Structure 1
Amino acid sequence: MMLNKDNLYPLYIQVKRKIIEDIHNDTYTEGSRLPSEAELCEKYAVSRITIRRSLQDMVDSGYLVRKQGKGTFVKRGKIKRSLISAEGYTEYMKETGQKPERKIVEKMIKPCSPFIAKRLSIPPDSEVLELCRILYIKDVPLGYEVNSYPIMRFNGLEAYIDDRVSTHEVLQEKYGVTLKNAYKVLNVLLASEKTANYLNCNVSAPVYQLDKTAFNQYNTAVYHSLMYYDVNRVSFVIEDQNDE
């Protein structure tokens, strides 16, 4: 399989994308062993240095795992998230029997943009708590999110937020908020340097941007979120919600 040496992307990235494509079409299934470096060199007509860099990049990104003396294996498949459900990251992790892992990278109170004001139905320049976090699954970045909470509705919220807590649980326990539904818009963008760094992917790689506004039991906007996911790690599904 010949690669395009005139392509905008370096050969090692092209090889990485081909292997990821083969993982997603089940050429290489979860837990299976990849061909040897020599076989991959022959398959993609590239040097061993290029193959090693591609594989190391995939190991670092959480797609592959190396086992001493045994070879390189596919680590896991895509994570599936619902486009309909109002559940958050913590609920998803608990449902799948995993421990939530979060890292706050920014937390500040600031005037909101006109875009956020419109999404939250609050006056322009109202103060919001902006919370930026990296969410992990099995020590690999699952997503990067930028959340905005209106201070006029949740004064003092910043004092309750840290890496160990679920914001949904805080909102329910401290403010009596029950999240009932969400408005979501799914976009595909190219990763900025900042987003690529947080998601451990390549700059300008395609990423999902999930534009979400969550509403409470009274249909009042609770918070707005921009969530970014590597398209190679996450799939979004739409469930059939027909009443029985």
Structure 2
Amino acid sequence: MRQAAGHLTENSPFSHETSREDTMSVILRRERGDLLHRQLFLALREQIRRSVYRDGEPIPSEEQLCQSFGVSRITVRRAVADLVEEGWLEKRLGRGTFVRQAAAKPRSGGGSTFTESLAKRAKQTKVTVLEVSRRSPPPHVATAMGLAEDAQVVYASRLRSISGVPLLFVDSWVMPEYADTITGDALEGRSITEMLLSQGVRFRYVTEEISAVAADPHVAANLHVQVGSPLLCVARLVSKDVGKTVMYLMAYMTSERSRVVFSHEEQELDRMYEAKLIHDVDAYGSDQG
């Protein structure tokens, strides 16, 4: 049986299998913001995803988990109960708690482009149109779109969900010449991308940026997460030609329910230079050792 581990920094499900020598105990802290049982739930779930505990294997006992994470038995029981309820674990009478067979595992990207993937997901999810209006975009959006801060654009806010579970909160800003196309009724049935393509708009340049952000109160309320929870944010700038922006989009999702997976064929690997890894370190000051 593998020992309990608090490997909270290695989040990728594609990282190497964690051995006993790699594991370490981590004391959970209330100052982190999340309740202790939620922190433990996330830690154990990540270990299952990374095959620290394999299908059919028992997880550590309550006492071991209490010692490893510095929490009470009540906290352990609640975290384990949540994992059982979500299908990650199963209790076996008189034997303990085991990783459930066929628990969720990393999925491949299926070979489709990210835009195609979003279009497919759009058809699989229910959309709730929260707002469609004319307004000035936030400063960073105006800058990205090459507009003055007081420029008026079409703003659309939507929430995508499956079976009542919110998955994506999407903010979009579209150039005003497409105002007649982007309406609340139209957005109930089609995505903005589909509507623009149907009007003959062709996307020549698409720049996408994926980052981690903290959930503000509005986004948190719609995604049913706590304020300040870490979210994935996909920002997309779409242009039909150089200097001719069509749309700027920001899609927020929680890693508890969504992931972004990229798939590349061998002949495409030499084009990876088109992607850039950018480090924003100025905010931390120049006096850091």
Q: Is TM > 0.5 for Structure 1 vs Structure 2?
A: yes
Equivalent residues of 2:131, 2:184 under 8 A apart: no
2: CA distance, partners of 1:40 / 1:117: 54
Q: Which amino acid aligns with 1:41?
A: E
Q: Deviations over 1:166-187 (max 9, x none)?
A: 22211122x2113344112222
In structure 1, what is the equivalent of residue 283 of structure 2? none
The structure 1 residue matched to 2:36, chosen from 1, 7, 11, is 11
Instruction: Say which is worse superposed, 2-11 or 160-169, in terms of deviation.
Output: 2-11
Secondary structure at 2:177's aligned position in 1?
A: coil
Q: 1:161 to 1:121 in 2, by over 3 A?
A: farther
Shift in Å, 1:14: 2.1
In structure 1, what is the equivalent of residue 63 of structure 2? 42
In structure 2, what is the equivalent of residue 201 of structure 1? 225
**Unpaired runs of at least 5, structure 2:** 5-24, 272-289
1: CA distance, partners of 2:253 / 2:118: 16
Answer with 1 or 2: which has the greater Rg. 2
**Unpaired runs of at least 5, structure 1:** none
Compute the RMSD of aligned alpha carbons.
Answer: 3.8
Q: Which has the higher strand share?
A: 1
Shift in Å, 1:52: 5.0
In structure 1, what is the equivalent of residue 278 of structure 2? none
2: CA distance, partners of 1:59 / 1:20: 11
In structure 2, what is the equivalent of residue 141 of structure 1? 166
Query: Which has the bigger relative contact order, CA under 8 A and spacing at least 6?
Result: 1
2: CA distance, partners of 1:134 / 1:40: 40
Q: 1:55 to 1:204 in 2, by over 3 A?
A: farther
In structure 2, what is the equivalent of residue 183 of structure 1? 207
The structure 2 residue matched to 1:231, chosen from 238, 255, 263, is 255
1: CA distance, partners of 2:252 / 2:44: 22
Q: Which amino acid aligns with 1:226?
A: M
2: CA distance, partners of 1:225 / 1:183: 10
Equivalent residues of 2:134, 2:153 under 8 A apart: yes
In structure 1, what is the equivalent of residue 137 of structure 2? 112
Shift in Å, 1:193: 3.0
Equivalent residues of 1:113, 1:125 under 8 A apart: no
In structure 1, what is the equivalent of residue 50 of structure 2? 25
Equivalent residues of 1:100, 1:137 under 8 A apart: yes
Q: Which amino acid aligns with 2:27?
A: N
Q: Deviations over 1:28-51 (max 9, x none)?
A: 56xx57858xx6533422555424
Q: 1:177 to 1:189 in 2, by over 3 A?
A: same
The structure 2 residue matched to 1:222, chosen from 221, 225, 246, is 246
Secondary structure at 2:142's aligned position in 1?
A: helix
| Identity level (%) | 16
1: CA distance, partners of 2:64 / 2:222: 32
Q: Which amino acid aligns with 2:125?
A: P
Q: Deviations over 1:163-212 (max 9, x none)?
A: 33222211122x21133441122221222233233233333232122221
Q: Following superposition of structure 1 onto structure 2, how do residues 76-115 of structure 1 map, counting pairs within 5 Å?
A: 76-77=104-105, 85=113, 87=115, 90-93=118-121, 99-115=124-140
Q: Deviations over 1:1-52 (max 9, x none)?
A: 46525442432022112122213312356xx57858xx65334225554245
Secondary structure at 2:260's aligned position in 1?
A: strand
Q: 1:192 to 1:55 in 2, by over 3 A?
A: farther
1: CA distance, partners of 2:142 / 2:53: 46
Secondary structure at 1:179's aligned position in 2?
A: coil
2: CA distance, partners of 1:146 / 1:110: 13
